[in-house]
Structure 1
Amino acid sequence: MKKYFQRPAIKILVLILAVLGICLLYLSYKTYGNWAFALELRGKKLLAFVFVGIAAAFSTISFQTMTQNHFLTPNILGLDSLYVFVQTLLFFFLGGQQLLGKDSMGTFFLNVLLMVIAGFSLAKLLLKRSGNDLFLLLMIGIILGTFFNSISTFLQVVMDPNEYDLLQGKLFASFGNVNSQYLIIAGLGIVGLALFLWVQSPALDVLHLGNDQAVNLGINVSSFQTILLIVISALVGLSTSLVGPVTFLGFIVANMSYQFMGTYRHRDLFIGGSLLAILLLVLGQFLVEQIFQLNTTLSIVIEFGGGIYFVGKIISERKQRT
């Protein structure tokens, strides 16, 4: 019986039931029979949770397989810092009132495009010229992230205080004011990219064994890593442009997926990680709205919990090695 419940299919079924349960609770709690109001107000948030959860799970698990490190996330490439940098530039030169008033689709696509270009540039210029050295790639990513943060901080210091207040609302993850047009476009993009990674799951399973083994088994590691970086950058770009940066979400759900699923097969990990992400996001938002009475935000809860989990993970790994 114990082995029966250790099967990935049974674990996925348990997660599906848990996700359905928390979603129904979130949609129906204190609606007082007004389902139309609940679906209109909370349904949009729920869709955002689903898309962001899928993007976080697929991108982080793929990135950790590529780097052979469960402590790294795509944000180490400086993608979050790039998002902050782009938003700061737009608000500084164009003005927050104008940008927020237009609610332009162009700004959304610009954020995604720049993140994809950043991922492609890192892959093209660094991976191939450095002999496929991922450590050099990560080091350059950290340096670029610091560079973007420094320029953003300088511009924010000299920015008009009113513009700065408006900018802060764009730099923190927010699921409460998701634009419906952005939601549809981002959702289609995230689902399409996730399907691509799903199809590439057998190759990711092989890459999990190491680069040398993957080459021996017929995978062009250099080209595959370049494609992965572009897809991962696009997933992070779509997710970040939709709701803002959520740094620790991918790290939490990826590592929880490894522990809960107990398998190396990426299709099981992708499903398990996505369901765990959706479960955590919906549960967190429910607690923020109903328990904390909106005195905090979901992004703060995720960052706080993620920071504790990250430190605990480091201590646990250190104890195992000693």
Structure 2
Amino acid sequence: MVVEQRGLDPAPAPENPHRRRRLGLVGLLVLLAVAAVLSLVVGTRSLTPAEVWQGLFGDPGGDQQLTEITLIVHTLRVPRTVLAILAGLALGVAGALIQGHTRNPIADTGLLGVNSGASFAVVFAIYLFGLQNPLQYLWFAIIGAAVAGVLVFGLASLGRGAGNPLTLALAGQGVTIFLAAMTTAVALADTQALFVLRFWNAGSVQGVGFDVIWVAAAFIGVGLVLAMVNLPVINLLNLGDDVARGLGVNIVAGRTVGVVAVTLLAGAATAACGPIAFLGLMVAHLARWFTGPDYRWLVPYAGLLGAALLLLGDIAGRLVVRPGELQAGIVIALIGAPFFAVLVWLGKFRQA
């Protein structure tokens, strides 16, 4: 009787999860705003917030110091801050999407061959056409990422395991290894391609102008729209293909939209600043700790976390080896590798 009575006792009212998640989004936006201000202030030459304000909106006139500050802010600090936010947002969303579609908790944007496709296209374009302007090989990087994504998705759609997340992961790894080998072969045959690849592969938001950023932003914008449309489908797909099909989900169409979104997001970000390893993997897990498995909340959290983390990683890279700089991709990798090891140690990869 005691057991029955306990079973009938009303449970304490849980905290409203939607309110907590909304507050979390506001907190992430505040963190991102603070990081953006720090990005404008911190560098080889430190600036005060007042100097940054003058550099952004003031008229330098004949003031040599103010002219120099304006040049630093407009041509160096603002573009890299905007690119870090855009690329981090894109990679964070793409990382969450690819984990959701493959139901694989160690999936990253490189799983679809996007990073390796972009790298191979850049090296091949430089080798064939001698391109040196980032705006020129940006287009090749986006095309290479898209072709790799389509190739992986096409291979995963063949045979008995068609549409299976494991098949998608295996196809992605096969294409990635092949393209990485081809990239190395082409780069070793051409000094200029090897020189560009050496710095591009490190992953950096430094030295990229708005001519490149606007092109990347257009692709990222389309990818974000497709990602938002795809969120309800991911929630149903994570119940299992049979359940999702029974609920009326067109699995092939849903996965196709997801793959296109990941390809656009990761491809454009990789094309603009090079591959950033571990970022999508990390922020997807961090977001899941805050939001649970609901991708309608998880994906926005992952995007904002990705933007903030990449921006903070870029800031840290400016500080640790002053007056030089450490590329943001290297900083993120230094954080991501132990993060990955801790997740394995805690057994967090048993379930997506």
Among residues 317, 326, 348, which one is paired with 1:288 in the alignment?
A: 317
1: CA distance, partners of 2:120 / 2:193: 15
1:223 maps to amino acid: A
2:264 is matched with which residue? 234
* % same residue: 20
Among residues 20, 25, 37, which one is paired with 1:7 in the alignment?
A: 20
1:87–1:170 CA contact under 8 A, matched in 2: no
CA deviation map 1:20-43 (0-9, x unaligned): 122223323531443223541211
1:75 is matched with which residue? 110
- Residue aligned with 2:288, SS: helix
Match runs of 1:1-322 below 5 Å: 3=15, 7-29=20-42, 30-32=46-48, 33-35=50-52, 36=55, 37=70, 39-40=73-74, 41-95=76-130, 99-100=131-132, 103=133, 105-129=135-159, 130-160=161-191, 163-259=193-289, 261-293=290-322, 294-317=324-347
1:254–1:273 CA contact under 8 A, matched in 2: yes
- Structure 1: gaps of 5 or more residues: none
Query: Larger relative CO (CA 8 A, sep 6+): 1 or 2?
Result: 1
1:208 maps to amino acid: N
2: CA distance, partners of 1:146 / 1:181: 32
- Residue aligned with 1:22, SS: helix
TM-score computed with the length of structure 1 as normaliser? 0.88
Shift, 1:250, TM fit: 0.5
1: CA distance, partners of 2:196 / 2:220: 28
1:53–1:277 CA contact under 8 A, matched in 2: yes
Shift, 1:104, TM fit: 6.5
Shift, 1:175, TM fit: 0.6
Shift, 1:90, TM fit: 2.3
Shift, 1:206, TM fit: 1.6
How many residue pairs match? The answer is 314
CA change 1:10–1:104 in 2 (3 A) is closer
Shift, 1:318, TM fit: 6.8
2: CA distance, partners of 1:319 / 1:85: 30
TM-score computed with the length of structure 2 as normaliser? 0.81
Shift, 1:265, TM fit: 2.4
Root-mean-square deviation over aligned CA pairs: 2.5
CA change 1:7–1:202 in 2 (3 A) is same
CA deviation map 1:88-115 (0-9, x unaligned): 22233333xxx11xx2744322221232
Shift, 1:291, TM fit: 4.0
Structure exhibiting the larger radius of gyration computed from Cα positions: 2
- Residue aligned with 1:209, SS: coil
